[in-house]
Amino acid sequence: MSLQFVVDGLLTGSMIGLGAIGVTLTYSILRFSNFAHGDFMAWGTYATLAVVGAIAAMFGKVAPIAPLSFGWPLIVALVVGAAFTALLALLLDKVLFSRLRKQEQAIIAVMGSFGASMALRSLLEFIFTSRPTYFSRAIQIAMPVGFGIRITPDQIALLLLTAALVLGVHLLATRTQTGRSMQAMSQNPALARIAGIDVASVVRVTWVIGAALACVAGVMIGVLVQIRPLMGFDMLLPMFAAAILGGIGSIPGAVLGGLIIGLAEAGAVQLIGAEWRAAVSFVILMAVLIVRPIGLFGVRER
Amino acid sequence: MSETVLDVSDLEAGYEPGVPIVRGASITVNKGEIVVVLGPNGAGKSSLIKAIAGLVPISRGKVLLDGKDISTAPAHTMVRLGLAFVPQTENIFPRMSVEDNLKVACGILERRQAPARIDEMYAAFPDLLRQRRTPAGNLSGGQRQMLAVARALIVHPKVLVLDEPSAGLSPKFVSMVFEMLSAIRKSGVTILLVEQNAKAALAIGDRAYVLVEGKERHEGAASTLWDDPVVAELYLGQRPLRKDSARHTETGGAA
């Protein structure tokens, strides 16, 4: 048996986990399930792709940073793309979600996000067509690292990036005043206001973090797999499964949930058959909801 | 007379437009005082102080804090303006540690000031220091109230406003809470509180108001108020002031 599925699973899990952080934060702080989160991923990826194209037009062909498949343009573009995605989320909140969140029932905001998701996706197909595209068409040679596992330099770089981002967000959430304000908002929004926390600024930070990480996750998919308008929407179920598995509101939980789902999916492909891949996150999601509805790191409400 | 810190005049407030719960109430709180608002169930006591704290929409009247009108200020700006509110229930962040509960309230302070203020709170409430790493949701009822009050005090408010601080506590903790408030006043903090536990509140208070049907009907020194026959009548609702007040005093309802 090859252990290759471990690397594949960790990579898929990283993408799911980075996306699930945004899902879990939106759910615990803004109190609705944002179905448009996957489309933030896709939009961030296409924005990054557009910036890469613009840089290529300005500076010509830039040699990749050996042994990676990409050079500095992608890194710069990722930062710009993440900023763009954050602005997109803030804009969408201003024109749509902030109004819907004022309604009594959370389902209104959820349905609104579903509509936004479809609109965003169609707009991407309209602008970029639904044909898959790539950051680079170069083929990378995977290095054998023992136990029958092969890994490419890109994959190593992206795993490290994920680890750094998760650590950074975790420290932000637990060690800074901004993070404590976010926790306070998710635990008791009324008291948060009384304690002098500006709800509007916490909401903005939440969108910025979630959207920026969604963009990074999308670009990871773009680098390792391909770029399609549906790329984010297809990640929606695994992301929600990861957020619920880890416990809503928990950032480490979302990442761990993502890794578990990623590994389970990759394991299923190798051990059962590729057609079962998508079913695995469903099965895990249902099993968690039955056995431990609050998730691994979840906390019971009072 | 000492200077007025909080001056509420002719306040009308309620959750729904056109349905006022507070109906033209006027109260003042002077510097260094403990002022108690008493009244039968459903008199609008909690709504009155929630309106003062910016949590219930005000439709008429003024709330002056040190002469400045704060009646239209959003709730989250109140601590910055100098008014710290302690709600009756859910007044802590249950899954944050005691220390993080205090830290999160320091957002309006300068960064350098926060550690010293937290240490001051630990000095005043040693129980909290012992439990600083405990999730606040695991504290006992009395310690929760301590934490809630410490959270409010940490920003050096001009006035500390509390909604029934003794509600739901066992008798041992009730006396502890009132001793705590008495000690806080001695340190120079001005306090406005609403209480069901009239006798204990009057024992530590300087002045008191009796609120009936959303309007103050009686005011007096806390020491003599308990024996005042008019108060007994208003507060216990033995003889309704007006015909329609009977249902308020009998059925109670949300305070």
Q: What is the pLDDT of residues B143-163, one digit of tens each?
A: 999 999 999 999 999 999 999
pLDDT in tens, B103-128: 999 988 888 899 999 999 999 999 99
Distance from CA of B77 to the nearest CA of A (A): 6
**Using the beta-carbon criterion (under 8 Å), do B94 and A187 form an inter-chain contact?**
yes
Check: CB of residue B39 under 8 Å from CB of residue B211.
yes
CB contact under 8 A, A188 and B80: no
* Token pair for B136: 């606040």
| pLDDT tens per residue across span A142-164 | 888 877 788 898 999 999 999 99
Of the pLDDT bands very low, low, confident and very high (cuts 50, 70, 90), residue A19 is very high
Q: What is the pLDDT of residues A194-216, one digit of tens each?
A: 999 999 999 999 999 999 999 99
pLDDT, greater one: B86 or B169:
B86
The confidence score (pLDDT) of residue B57 equals 93
pLDDT of residue A91: 96
Q: Which CATH class is domain B4-251?
A: alpha beta
User: Based on the number of CB atoms within 10 Å of its own CB, is A80 exposed (0-12), middle (13-18) or buried (19 or more)?
Assistant: middle
Dist. CA B76–CA A189, nearest whole Å: 11
pLDDT tens for residues B182-229? 999 998 899 999 998 888 899 999 999 999 888 888 888 888 887 787
Give A198's contacts in chain B (Cβ within 8 Å). 76
Question: In angstroms, how far is the first alpha carbon of chain B from the final one?
Answer: 32
Is there a contact between B107 and A187 if contact means CB atoms under 8 Å apart? no
Mean pLDDT of B29-57: 92
* CB pair distance less than 8 Å for A197 and B107: yes
Contact B17, B5 (CB under 8 A): no
pLDDT at B253 over 70: no
Q: Tell me what pLDDT residue A1 has.
A: 63
Instruction: Tell me which residues of chain B have a C-beta less than 8 Å from any C-beta of chain A.
Output: 53, 55, 74-80, 85, 87, 90-96, 100, 103-108, 137, 151, 155
Q: Does the pLDDT of residue A18 top 70, yes or no? A: yes
Tokens of A209: 């973090």
Which pLDDT does position A211 carry in this prediction? 97
d(CA A83, CA A232) in angstroms, rounded, equals 18
Distances in whole angstroms, Cα of residue B137 to Cα of each of A10, B91, B133: 35, 10, 12
The CA distance from B82 to the nearest CA of chain A, in Å, is: 11
Nearest CA in chain A to B78: A196
Residue at A277: amino acid letter: R
Sheet with B215-221: list strands edge to edge: B83-86, B159-163, B190-194, B34-38, B207-212, B215-221
Cβ pair A194, B53 in contact under 8 A? yes
- pLDDT grade for B245, boundaries at 50, 70 and 90: very low
Q: What are the strands of the beta sheet with B22-30, ordered from one edge?
A: B22-30, B4-13, B58-65, B68-69
Provide the residue ranges of all domains of chain B, joining segments of one domain with +.
4-251
For residue A39, CA distances in Å to A65, A92, A267, A297, B135 come to: 29, 12, 27, 27, 37
Residue B236: pLDDT band by 50, 70, 90 thresholds? low
Tell me how crowded residue B146 is: count the other CB atoms within 10 A of its CB: 25
